[in-house]
Structure formats: structure tokens, C-alpha cells
Amino acid sequence: MRGMSLLIGVDASRADIPGGAGVARYSRELVSRLIRCEAYSFRLYGRTPVAPLWAHRPNAEWRYVRMPRLWSLVGLSAELACRPPDALFVPAHVIPPVHPRSVVVTVHDLGYLRFPREHPPLQRLYLRISTRWNVQVARVVLADSQCTKSDLVQLLGVHADKVVLAYPGASPSFRPALEPERTAIRQRYRLPERYFLFVGTLQPRKNLLRLLDAHDLAATGVPLVVVGKPGWMCKPILARIEQSAPNVLHVGPVPDADLPALLSGAVALVIPSLYEGFGLPALEAMACGTPVVASATSSLPEVVGDAGLLVDPTSVDELAAALQALAQDRDLARTLSERGLMRAASFTWERCATVALRAIERACSGDDGQ
């Protein structure tokens, strides 16, 4: 496969979202590494007329697909029908009806099946239909974690050999920030010198209400800073945050450039989610040398390992005890910080891109794992 000329199409519609988090960051980081492979040519399909800076490579062509609605269903399908690539990689979207035979797709999680009530009904229906379509059509499926791979096999009946584990990474920008950087970020967002940090969309599956209860119970005197945009069913969460002021501060979404300093300055990142397909903020916190308190469920133990405190996300008492431990025991915090830095170094986007490229090569060889 390496000896032949291969044109790889990539759905970059999520990757070109400015400042996008979650799957948008996954797409941007992974695709920007993937196109560094000069052995192949890449055609990137996006929603913006001008190619983002990260997409400027000699072997990468940017194709603007002009379609405000039904982008994948109609717009991308038409583009692929007129100018088909040899293979298609879809890192964070649905495979279009018209596509080449060799398709690789990433499935990030099956939380909509594990916790259906934590997702809006229409979103749940869309995910149910699109995910089943994706795993049926794709020759190879990438999974962010062993947890997601196991869910694909158990809940959707996907053959295990068809699913390839490809852990995401942490961008090099996530590193321990210097004191002047931490001071500047505290001043910018009017933060105290010590604070716990939550990063994520404000929605039920992030388990914020229990975290707020645990923070009250712990009574450490260390405020909780909540970073993220409001999501589905966020009104009770926002009301609870307002009731807890000034011990809880909601600063809303922040630019990606501010996250490393915010993470570096925190006593700990707390990620008590009921379910995560990977939990990128946990890895990014560890890369910044910040201790992590995380749920002992879904994919988070794979990410955190022994570099954080793992707790039952349904137990307010366990969450509170973990907050107390990190607020009071600086030796514990230092140990977890050192472990986190070492563990985070093993998760890289370059490694993820290598696995993805091998999956695309495998798809082009006609091997679907079955």
C-alpha cells in the first residue's frame, strides 16, 4: 500500500470549527497530524471557504463544500460522487450516503445507549441511526478507548477485529504553565489563588449537580471554577451554581489558548462524568501537571490510571473526600502531578495519527476484520 499513490478524503467539517471543543478538537488535532504523512495525498472537505492554517500542507487540498444544511447527506455526497477519493476518513461525523468503498470512521462513545435519559430525544435518535449506519458501512472503525470498543462489540454487535483502538493525545500546548502565566490567567478571569476546576459542557451526564453537592460537603474553602458552555437541561445546573456563589464561579467557555494556564493553576481538575468515551480534559490536565479527580467508570480509568483519584460518580461522599484530600495533602498532590506528567506523555496525537493511517491502509486493502 505504501508503494502506491493514494488519495485520502477527510471529512474536516468538525475540524474547521474555530475554538471547538470535544470532537472538534479531536478532529483538528488528529487530521493536522494525519496530513503530515507525505507518502499520500489528502483532500479535506470543510464548511469554510478558506483553508485553516493547520491544513496548509503541500500534499493537502482544501475543498469547500457549500451547503448550509444537509452538509454530509447532500453536499459531501455530491462532491464525492463527482470527484471520488480512494478512501474516506470520517473522524467525527456521519458517513455520507455516497462514499468510496474504503471508509474509516471514528466512534467516540455510546453514552446515548448507556445513559439514554442524559441525552435529548432528537439527539438520541440521530445518534442511534447515524452510529449504526457508520459501523455497518465502514470497513474499519476507530474507537477512542477500550471502553468504547467493548461497547461497540456488546451493544451494537460489531466484530471485535473491525474495531481499532486509537487513543487521542494532548496537544503540546498543554504543559505546566509558568507562574506569570498562571497569575495572568487568574487576573483575567478574577480567580482566587487556589481553586478546583471543572471543564465541560453543562449537561446532566457531566454529573455537575453531585459535584456541587460534594463541593459543599467537603467545605475545603477552595472555590470551584466551572468552565464550559450551557448545554441540554442546564437550567437546574446554572441555578445551583448561582446559589453556591461565591464558592462556585462559572466563567463560561474559554479560548483553547487559556486552558493550559487555567489547568496548571488548579488544585485539581474534577471530571465526575457518568460516562466518557475518553475524557480529553483529564489527559490535558495531567499534561499540565495538575492532579485529577475522575469517575472510576467508563473510559476514565484507562486515561487516568494511578495518576489521579478515581471515585464512584454517584457517591457525593467519595467526591467530597477526594476534594478534601487534594486540598489538604500537598504531598499527595505532588505525587499525582508527577505521575500525571509521566502518564500523559504516552498519549500523543502522532501515535493516534499513525494508528488511523494504518486503519485507512487496511480499509484500502479490503480487510474489514471479518
State whether 70 and 134 are in the same domain.
yes
State whether 24 and 82 are in the same domain.
yes
Residue 199: beta bridge partners? Answer: 227
Q: What average pLDDT does range 15-42 have in this prediction?
A: 89
What is the largest distance, in Å, between two alpha-carbon atoms of the chain? 63
State whether 332 and 202 are in the same domain.
yes
pLDDT in tens, 183-198: 999 999 999 999 999 9
pLDDT for res 22: 82
d(CA 54, CA 300): 29
d(CA 246, CA 322): 21
Q: What average pLDDT does range 1-7 have in this prediction?
A: 64
CATH number at residue 239: 3.40.50.2000
Q: Whole-structure pTM over 0.85, yes or no?
A: yes
State whether 216 and 279 are in the same domain.
yes
In a domain, 174, yes or no: no
Strands of 140-143's sheet, edge to edge? 60-64, 41-46, 7-11, 87-90, 102-107, 140-143, 163-165
Domain that holds residue 13: 7-169+348-364
In a domain, 92, yes or no: yes
Q: What average pLDDT does range 63-70 have in this prediction?
A: 92
State whether 308 and 359 are in the same domain.
no
pLDDT in tens, 104-149: 999 999 999 999 988 889 999 999 999 999 999 999 999 999 999 9
DSSP 173: T
In a domain, 137, yes or no: yes
CB 253 within 8 Å of CB 18:
no
Strand 268-271 to 60-64 pairing: unpaired
In a domain, 370, yes or no: no
Alpha helices in 140-222 (DSSP H): 146-156, 179-189, 208-218
pLDDT of 19 higher than 80 = no
State whether 277 and 189 are in the same domain.
yes
pLDDT for res 369: 65
Count up the domains in the chain and report the number.
2
Reported as a pLDDT band with limits 50, 70 and 90, residue 1 is: very low
In a domain, 36, yes or no: yes
d(CA 106, CA 152): 11
